Amino acid sequence: MSHQVFISYSRKDMDAANALCEALYGAGVDYWIDRNIHGSANFLSEITHNIRHCKVVVFIASPNSAGSPWTQKEILFALKHHKEIIPYRIGNFSFEDNDELDFIFTNIQWIESVPEVITALGALDCCGKTVIPKPAAPVKTYKVGDYYNDGVREGVVFEVSADGRHGKIVSMKQSAELQWSSDRGDSLRYIGANSKTDGTYNMAKVKARSNWRDKYPAFKWCADLGEGWYLPSIEELKTFTLNDAVHDAVNRTLSVRGCVRLRNIGELGRYWSSTEELRCRAWYVGMYSGGTYNDLKYGIDYVRAVSAF
Q: Are 124 and 57 in contact (CB under 8 A)?
A: no
Q: Which of helix, strand or coil describes residue 5? A: strand
Distance CA(307)–CA(157), nearest Å, equals: 10
Calculate mean pLDDT across residues 202-231: 97
Lowest mean pLDDT among 124-128, 150-154, 221-225: 124-128
Whether 107 has a pLDDT exceeding 80, the answer reads no
Tell me the per-residue pLDDT of 208-217, one tens digit each, with 9 for 90 and over.
Answer: 999 999 999 9
Calculate mean pLDDT across residues 103-109: 74
Tell the CATH topology of 147-308.
Answer: Mannose-Binding Protein A; Chain A (3.10.100)
Q: Where in the chain is the domain with CATH 3.10.100?
A: 147-308
Pairing of strands 5-8, 31-33: parallel
Q: Are 253 and 156 in contact (CB under 8 A)?
A: yes
pLDDT of residue 100: 74
> Where does the pLDDT of residue 185 fall: very low under 50, low under 70, confident under 90, or very high at 90 and above?
confident
Q: Are 160 and 169 in contact (CB under 8 A)?
A: no
Distance CA(115)–CA(113), nearest Å, equals: 6
Whether 13 has a pLDDT exceeding 70, the answer reads yes
Residue % of the chain over a pLDDT of 70? 92
pLDDT of residue 3: 82
Q: Which of helix, strand or coil describes residue 305? A: coil
pTM of the shown model: 0.59
> Where does the pLDDT of residue 7 fall: very low under 50, low under 70, confident under 90, or very high at 90 and above?
very high
pLDDT of residue 222: 98
Q: Are 88 and 20 in contact (CB under 8 A)?
A: yes
CATH class of domain segment(s) 5-123 = alpha beta
pLDDT of residue 84: 92
Calculate mean pLDDT across residues 199-204: 97
Tell me the per-residue pLDDT of 259-298, one tens digit each, with 9 for 90 and over.
Answer: 999 999 999 999 999 999 987 999 999 999 999 999 999 9
Q: Which of helix, strand or coil describes residue 286? A: strand
Q: Which of helix, strand or coil describes residue 302? A: strand
Whether 109 has a pLDDT exceeding 90, the answer reads no
Q: Where in the chain is the domain with CATH 3.40.50.10140?
A: 5-123
Q: Which of helix, strand or coil describes residue 309? A: coil
Output DSSP code: residue 230. Answer: B
